[in-house]
Amino acid sequence: MIVAMAVNTIFLMSSFILIQQMEMGNSSQSIRYTSEQYLIQEQCPSDLKTKIWREMPHCNPRDILVDLPLPSHLNTVQEVIPPQVMAKRCQGVCAQGNDYHQCVARPEGRFNKTIEVLLLDKNGNYKCGETQVEFHESCKCGCDLEATTCSAVQFYDHGVCKCRCQDIRAHQRCIHYGTKQKFWDESSCRCICRAEMFKACSTGFVYDGLETCSCLNPKGVSSTTGMVAASSTAITLVILFIATLIALMYVMMQNQKLKNDVKKLNERHRKTSKEWSLCENADP
């Protein structure tokens, strides 16, 4: 009896261990299968390369579903019917080696098309309406942002399809000396106060979102600005006066040096003439 129980126990334990090993093997195979997303081939035939390039979804106008948003100026409308329409939009792969390039519509390839819709208000009433939906008819692989969108204080960086600020030093100063109150605004190219710093000012005061990030008295600001301008003008005049005085002193010193040189030459000439006279008188 005891022997039979021992044999059964050993059999059950062996079965349990075998099941565990099978489950571990299946789990490892499943993980290995899901982790290997690509089957790599050492040789890639030229005809296969041509086939892959030919079947690639290139950048072209394609039919896609476009959402129709609720009218922003009509608060009573709760639904637009249909909520989506089919429109031609530029879609596809741009395999040009530039991650910033996208499949975008050419400037001359964009046009708006009128779409008729039903507008359902909150009372359950339907109204007829229409809206404009953008369609694309020609596409390109490139930047969606054009150089004409950059402002006068920006330049166009075609490599990253972005408008950058021309004043790089001001940008660096804002980042280096900036506080938690300010940040560099790429659209205006200025170091301005953060939105959370905005505060409602009392009567007679205005919020300064560029320099102090606080409420100021406009009259005080104007007078301070005038004082700063006057001080700047005075400093400029003082600098010009000092520069003129230094220039005059330099000219006077050079003139005096020239007079001294001329005087020395005259004395040397007289001395030489006297020596020649003595020599002539000494001759028999």
Model confidence at 228: pLDDT above 60: no
Per-residue pLDDT of 85-112, as tens digits, reads: 999 999 999 876 778 889 999 989 999 9
Residue with the larger pLDDT of the pair 11 and 123: 123
Structure-token match 């009509």, residue found: 74
Per-residue pLDDT of 11-69, as tens digits, reads: 445 544 444 544 444 443 433 333 457 888 888 889 998 898 889 899 999 999 999 99
Q: How far apart are CA 168 and CA 218, in angstroms?
A: 31
Q: How far apart are CA 183 and CA 185, in angstroms?
A: 6
Residue type, 97: G
Q: Could you give the C-alpha distances from 16 to 4, 10, 21, 25, in angstroms and in order?
A: 18, 10, 9, 14
Average pLDDT over residues 262-284: 64
Model confidence at 169: pLDDT above 60: yes
Per-residue pLDDT of 230-259, as tens digits, reads: 666 778 788 888 888 888 888 888 878 877
What pLDDT is recorded for position 90?
96
What pLDDT is recorded for position 38?
80
Six-digit token string for 142: 């490139």
Model confidence at 182: pLDDT above 60: yes
| 137 — pLDDT class (breaks 50, 70, 90) | very high
Whether 178 contacts 184, CB under 8 Å: yes
Model confidence at 181: pLDDT above 70: yes
Whether 81 contacts 141, CB under 8 Å: no
Residue type, 275: E
Q: How far apart are CA 189 and CA 164, in angstroms?
A: 8
| DSSP conformation class of 144 | S
Q: How far apart are CA 254 and CA 272, in angstroms?
A: 27
What pLDDT is recorded for position 282?
53
| 140 — pLDDT class (breaks 50, 70, 90) | very high
Looking at 6-15, 131-140, 200-209, which range is the least confident one? Answer: 6-15
Domains in the chain, CATH or no CATH each: 51-144 (2.10.90.10), 145-178+186-191 (no CATH), 198-228 (no CATH)
What pLDDT is recorded for position 69?
92
What pLDDT is recorded for position 84?
96
pTM confidence score: 0.48
